[in-house]
Copies of this chain bind each other. A is one copy, B any other.
Amino acid sequence: MNDSLGTVTTERVVLAHEGDPLVLVSGARLPHVEVAYETYGELSAARDNAVFVCHALTGDAHAAGWHEDARRPGWWDNLIGPGKAVDTDRLFVVSANMLGGCSGTTGPQSVDPATGRRYGPDFPALDMADFVTVHRRLLDHLGITRLHAAVGGSLGGMQVLEWALQEPDRIDRAVLVAASSRLTTENIAFSAVARAAILEDPDFHGGRYAEHGVTPRHGLKIARMMAHITYVSGISLAEKFGHARDTTGTDKRLAADFEVEHYLQHQGESFLGRFDALSYLHLTRPMDYFDPFGAHPDAVPSTRFRLVSFDSDWRFPTAHSLRIRDQLGARGVTVDHTELASPWGHDSFLLEPPGYHDLVRSFLA
């Protein structure tokens, strides 16, 4: 089960405390921030081989390798490891759970030191820049001044973009896969329905559901089922499930019958066990407001960018990557973009469509 990454474990570190609180873009302060992170490979003596990996909406620090007794490897294990595109024989990889998350880093279900109770609905609204502030502190903690590269897909890519504009001289190379610098109105619309499903679930209890001993299961499940459709492509759904169903002939039923329905039910149900509803709200919302070129009008990163998009991605289609390319290009930043053929839609960034991993490998070499 283990390859030469060995068994990996998630570390935790305190990156903000009362004497040095995390000040958010909104002005709110978090007096205590813990961050869960993993590292793979060895930091070179010159400290010049670090690669920071930013996870997407429902990811966590466990990007690669195997945890003890785990049944599955990290979410980006096909990309990161010995001899892989992000080659841990050569590179030192850092992966951290995002601020606001629910997998070890401080988030809405953490205890507010000021009250001794969970933040719940009082957890402050986050900005993409706040995620980056925490990543920066983690790097400082690890004693890494400059990154060989930062890599992220989807929301992860958005963090990388924000970071490069925030600290124009800290990241040598940035890989943004299926990312966006500005959601469309339709993107926001889907996000709004998912959030409404959670916020208006009677079991949400104004965000104090944990104190009521419940979770807004219904809303969170529906949100996930709907979002999942936007992560895949019509082509891949058709190829995978077609019109296969349990009933035959003129038999039919209102409840789940088609295979695609069972599949979505499974996606929704399994999500409940691993994700928190308030984290879902807090991690999706910053995407709606994200406008890094507007927020950093004069930033000219020294970073070289590689952008990858997928032709079947209808959540963040190639137009999103082209906008990033054009905005960076107009500032004189070195950037290239490739649209790859892939049948799997937005989720292609987690898979291995032809050419994808080679684009990452060659850029990091």
Contacts and interface: CB of A to CB of B under 8 A. Distances in A.
Interface of A: 25-26, 125, 127, 182, 184-186, 188-190, 192-193, 195-197, 199-202, 218-219, 221-222, 225-226, 229, 234, 237-238, 240-243, 250-256, 258, 260-261, 264-265, 268, 281-282, 285-286, 288-289, 291
Nearest to A258: B188
A46 to B, nearest CB: 38
A291 B248 CA distance: 13
Contact of A200 (B127, B218, B282): B218
Oligomeric state, in copies = 2
A188 B261 contact: yes
A282 B255 CA distance: 11
- Chain A interface helix/strand/loop/mixed: helix
A242 B243 CA distance: 36
Nearest to A226: B193
Please name the 7 residue pairs, one residue from A and one from B, whose CB atoms are nearest each other, closest first. A186-B234, A185-B237, A192-B261, A185-B238, A193-B225, A197-B222, A193-B226
B222 A189 contact: no
A237 B185 CA distance: 6
B237 A222 contact: no
Contacts of A219: 218, 222
B264 A189 contact: yes
Nearest to A123: B254
A250 B127 contact: yes
B193 A241 contact: no
A189 B285 contact: no
B289 A255 contact: no
A60 B186 CA distance: 28
Contacts of A237: 184-186, 189
Contacts of A251: 26
Given A218-B202, A218-B218, A226-B193, A186 B254 contact: no
A125 B192 contact: no
26 contacts: A26-B252, A125-B252, A125-B253, A125-B254, A127-B250, A184-B234, A185-B237, A185-B258, A186-B237, A188-B243, A189-B261, A192-B256, A192-B261, A193-B264, A195-B254, A196-B222, A196-B256, A196-B268, A200-B218, A200-B221, A202-B202, A219-B222, A222-B222, A243-B291, A254-B285, A258-B288
A264 B229 CA distance: 19
B192 A218 contact: no
B127 A252 contact: yes
A186 to B, nearest CB: 4
A241 B195 contact: no
Contacts of A185: 234, 237-238, 240-243, 258, 260
Contact of A260 (B189, B201, B225, B238): B189
A240 B221 CA distance: 30
A72 B211 CA distance: 47
Interface centre among A125, A197, A222, A242, by most B CB within 10 Å? Answer: A222
A289 B252 contact: yes
Nearest to A218: B200
Contacts of A282: 254
Contacts of A196: 221-222, 225, 256, 261, 264-265, 268
A195 B258 CA distance: 13
